[in-house]
Amino acid sequence: MLNAVAEPAVRPLTVLSDEEKMFRDTVRRFARERIAPHVREMDEQHAFRQDLLKQLFDLGLMGIEIPEEYGGQGGTFFQAILAIEELAAVDPSASVIVDVQNTLVNNALLRWGNPEQKKKYLPGLSSAMTASYALSEAGSGSDAFALATQAKEVDGAWALNGRKLWITNAAEAGLFLLFATINPQAGYRGITCFLVERGMPGFAVGRREEKLGIRASSTCELILDNCRVPKENVLGEPGKGYKIAIETLNEGRIGIGAQMTGLAHAALDHAIAYARQRKQFGKAIAEFQGVQFDLARMATDVESARLLVYNAARLRQAGAPFLTEAAMAKYHASQIAENVASRAVEILGGVGFTKDYPVEKLYRDAKIGRIYEGTSNMQMSTIAKQLLS
């Protein structure tokens, strides 16, 4: 098996601070030394190792933006994007675990949580408790607010009934940001966000999906059968969950862009390393112009994706509008990841089609990038609407 040891031929012109460089290098070293030896095994077993999950917490990667007063790293959104990218270059499954925790759940609690909710949940999210984001349902995908899960007030609490599907981190999570409607007739104005704990009565995690890619990342259904949630566990205000969902997903798309960029970068590294060592007709295939042109196109594509992702992340961190840039980054990076991973398989030839080399896994992992947290068509729709508004 070929390890990802080759350095990329080109670096983006986005300048990283010394602190950001140190952070990126620390995550890169951790991913290569601790996670890489177990990637194939986790993929085959469809499970992420619990000892590695603990190490993600120990390194502070599950609470990057959480303030130090709550046990977090007190870091930045851009650092979270760097971590997601570097982890994805070794294992996209590890990357999405960190992505959901930071860009969706932690971010939502930091922005909309009241002091009591922050004090109750942020220390755990920083140290040991994995979190999950539960929006999707069988009839609610791209039409994110066609929710069937309902919440009704019963005896001073909320009773939730329904099912959620395709929920990332569900097998490991202790806390779920779960969206339900308190008034189906009100449309999106009835959507409310609830902080649901794993042990609450009437809550259960259902079957785990068997997937094409990112198989070490758990994806499960959630079952709510009169699940009792205290009134104080509403995040934000009743009926205002649509705003939380929209705004967190906008930021989460930058995370998916980073994941796909890291994946594409890894596929390029594998292709370069193999092209240098594989000989045909008496010389390395890297000496053939056809292969060189493929690698040049792949490298250019990877850098274009990275630049879009970094730009969107910088805008978000600066408090500037970033909706269009986030959609562009997610759309472009997901396209690039699939294309570059496919070309890497072809450069490796027959062995690229086998499990003896990592590129077949990267190719499988890449497909989800064009689907989750907003399909490519939805991103293009968002971009077009912003251009024409």
Q: pLDDT band at 382, cuts 50/70/90?
A: very high
pLDDT of residue 142: 83
pLDDT of residue 146: 86
pLDDT of residue 219: 98
| Cα 383 to the center of its chain, rounded Å | 21
* Average pLDDT of span 286-306: 98
* Average pLDDT of span 285-310: 97
Secondary structure of 200-227 in HEC code, one letter for each residue: CCCEEEEEECCCCCCCCCCEEEEEEEEE
pLDDT exceeds 70 at position 255? yes
Mean pLDDT of the chain: 95
pLDDT exceeds 70 at position 368? yes
**Which domains can be identified in the chain, with CATH numbers?**
18-130 (1.10.540.10), 132-239 (2.40.110.10), 243-388 (1.20.140.10)
pLDDT exceeds 50 at position 12? no
Within a 13 Å sphere around the CA of 315, how many CA atoms are in the beta-carbon half?
Answer: 18
Cα gap 232→125, rounded to integer Å: 18
pLDDT exceeds 70 at position 183? yes
Instruction: Please name the amino acid found at residue 25.
Output: D
Cα gap 327→55, rounded to integer Å: 32
Query: Whole-prediction pTM value?
Result: 0.95
Cα gap 148→138, rounded to integer Å: 9
Q: pLDDT band at 14, cuts 50/70/90?
A: low
Cα gap 150→144, rounded to integer Å: 14
Q: Which two tokens stand for residue 91?
A: 């294992």
DSSP string, 237-270: -TT-HHHHHHHHHHHHHHHHHHHHHHHHHHHHHH
pLDDT exceeds 50 at position 313? yes
Q: Which two tokens stand for residue 253?
A: 């798309």
pLDDT of residue 13: 46
Per-residue DSSP letter, 75: -
pLDDT exceeds 70 at position 9? no
Q: pLDDT band at 2, cuts 50/70/90?
A: very low
Which active-site residues does the annotation give?
A: 373
Torsion of CA 260, 263, 267, 272, to 10 degrees: 100
